[in-house]
Amino acid sequence: MTDPLFDVSGQRVLITGGLGQIGTEFVRAFQSRGATVYVASRSVTQDKLDAHFGDSSGLVPVRFDVTDADGVRAALRDIADDGGPVTTVVNNAGLDTQPSAPPEVSGPFEDFPVDVFREVVDVNLTGTFIVTQAAGSEMRRADVAGSIINVGSIYGMLSPVQDIYAYRAEQGQPFTKPVAYSAAKSGLYNLTRYCATYWGRHGIRVNTLTPSGVARDTQDATFQANYTARMPIGRMAEADEFNGAAIFLASDASRYMTGANLVVDGGWTAW
Ligand SMILES: NC(=O)c1ccc[n+]([C@@H]2O[C@H](COP(=O)([O-])OP(=O)(O)OC[C@H]3O[C@@H](n4cnc5c(N)ncnc54)[C@H](O)[C@@H]3O)[C@@H](O)[C@H]2O)c1
């Protein structure tokens, strides 16, 4: 039997970037606890959900680009008109630059292209604003309570540690972890606080969930070793290790919490 404090069954949960590495785990976490999960992605279909998740019961594909305000509004309106607004949003879609990125997007700060800066801010910050605005508007229109969870990053709380990436120069492919992701993710904290205070009396809670780096098969072993050496808990995260925080933030267990930043980072920001 589910602890009522952490019960999310019956909720209508929108997860953006729901086919990505962490998004997939968020979807499974809410699905397995009896929520209807609207899996948002630019190219999702029911067939893709079937193939990706195997069991796609309770999952509904929703297609939009988070930077397309009209498309997002229309999708959130359609959901609301068909049974009520979403009650939890996980703003998880994001755009980051990996160490394998080409030099034109990972060169020195002095050369970082303005158009790439705009693109990354557009997805990570403006896209979160667009989805939050549309989802919150539908919650208000129906006068229902809800929870909005904005997925931040330790690189939005602190600057990236560039030393971790120095090995790329030794391999003849210098890499500077770019500024755009950090600047965009950092903007989420005050987007969260603003919306939390704006909607506080209406039962719409807004919090940030801040993860640290997740291990991926595609990562360079040197990168993983350097990252792990800086990580107090002694390893990178698994993609499902933010599920507990997401369920907490979506459920009654966090009913007095809004405007906050829940950090799940293996201790990275504790140094
Ligand atoms: N993986 C990590 O190490 C890590 C660490 C800290 C924070 N995060 C954050 O966690 C979230 C999920 O990260 P992930 O590692 O699973 O990333 P991922 O790249 O696997 O998934 C991100 C998803 O966002 C989608 N997306 C990108 N641009 C979009 C757009 N314009 N419209 C709609 N969807 C779009 C992508 O298609 C992808 O499915 C991101 O917000 C990321 O910044 C990740």
DSSP-derived 3-state class of residue 18: coil
Confirm or reject: Cβ of 67 under 6 Å from ligand 1. Answer: yes
The closest-lying atom of ligand 1 relative to the alpha carbon of residue 18 is 39
Distance 3 CA to ligand 1 centre (A): 30
Question: Is the beta carbon of 25 within 6 A of some atom in ligand 1?
Answer: no
Q: Is the pLDDT of residue 63 over 80?
A: yes
For residue 165, the SS3 value is helix
Dig out the tokens for 89 from the structure. 């949003």
pLDDT at 1 over 80: no
Q: Which residues are catalytic?
A: 181
Mutate-to-test residue for ligand 1 from 26, 65, 68, 153, highest number of ligand atoms within 8 A of CB? 153
> What number of other Cβ atoms are within 10 A of residue 59's Cβ?
23
Domain range list for the chain:
4-266
Q: What is the CATH number of domain 4-266?
A: 3.40.50.720
Q: What is the structure's pLDDT at 102?
A: 86
CA of 197 to the centre of ligand 1 (A): 26
Contact 231, 268 (CB under 8 A): yes
* Overall size of the chain counted in residues: 271
Q: Residue 99: pLDDT above 90?
A: no
For the Cβ of 92 lying below 6 angstroms from any atom of ligand 1, the answer is: yes
Select from 196, 81, 191, 190 the least CA-distant residue to 146.
196
Of 1, 2, 30, 22, the residue nearest 88 (C-alpha): 30
155 vs 12: CA distance, rounded Å: 30
Which ligand 1 atom sits nearest the alpha carbon of residue 211? 6
54 C-alpha vs ligand 1 centroid, how far in Å? 21
The DSSP symbol for 215 reads P
Which among 116, 107, 118, 188 is positioned nearest to 153, based on CA atoms? 188
Residue 85 CA from chain centroid, whole number: 20
State residue 101's pLDDT score: 85
Longest dimension (CA), the chain: 57
Residue 93 near ligand 1, beta carbon < 6 Å: yes
User: Does residue 266's CB lie within 6 angstroms of at least one atom of ligand 1?
Assistant: no
Range 22-43 average pLDDT: 98
Residue whose Cα lies nearest atom 3 of ligand 1: it is: 213
Q: Whose CA is closest to 10, among 40, 28, 31?
A: 31
Residue 31: per-residue pLDDT: 98
Q: What is the pLDDT of residue 71?
A: 98
Is any ligand 1 atom within 6 A of the Cβ of residue 210? no
Q: Which atom from ligand 1 is nearest to the alpha carbon of 22?
A: 16
Angle of helix 114-121 versus helix 179-199 axis, rounded to 10: 30
DSSP state, 126? I
What does the pLDDT read at residue 209?
99
Among 62, 88, 92, CA closest to 74? 62
How far does the centroid of ligand 1 lie from the alpha carbon of residue 190, in Å? 20
- pLDDT tens, residue by residue, 41-57: 999 999 999 999 999 99
Q: How far apart are CA 124 and CA 93, in angstroms?
A: 7
Average pLDDT, the chain: 97
Distance from the CA of 39 to the center of ligand 1, in angstroms?
13
pLDDT tens-digit map of 164-210:
999 999 999 999 999 999 999 999 999 999 999 999 999 999 999 99
